Amino acid sequence: MSFDPNLLHNNGHNGYPNGTSAALRETGVIEKLLTSYGFIQCSERQARLFFHCSQYNGNLQDLKVGE
C-alpha cells in the first residue's frame, strides 16, 4: 500500500514552485514513523521526504510503517 499524499494538508500552499502542477505529487511508502513526524521513501526516485503529523488529515493511528 502506498501512502496517499492527498491526505496531507498544506495550509494554503501547494509546496511546489510557481508554475509547477500539483499533478506532479509523489507517492511513497512510510519508512519511519515517530510520535509527531515521519519519513516517506519516494516510489519513483531515491529520496526520503519528511512530514509532520500536523500535516496529515486522516487518523494517525491508521498510519503504519511499510504502507
Instruction: Give the model confidence (pLDDT) of 22-48 as tens digits.
Output: 556 788 999 999 989 999 999 989 999
The predicted model gives 56-62 an average pLDDT of 86
Query: How far apart, in whole angstroms, are the C-alpha atoms of residue 2 and residue 28?
Result: 6
Split at pLDDT 50, 70, 90, the class of 3 is low
Correct CATH for 5-62 of 2.60.40.10, 1.10.1740.10, 3.40.50.10420, 2.40.50.140: 2.40.50.140
Question: Contact 17/65 with Cβ under 8 angstroms?
Answer: no
Query: How far apart, in whole angstroms, are the C-alpha atoms of residue 41 and residue 48?
Result: 5
**6, 9, 36, 58 from 19: Cα distances, Å:** 19, 20, 31, 28
Answer whether residue 14 shows pLDDT above 50.
Answer: no
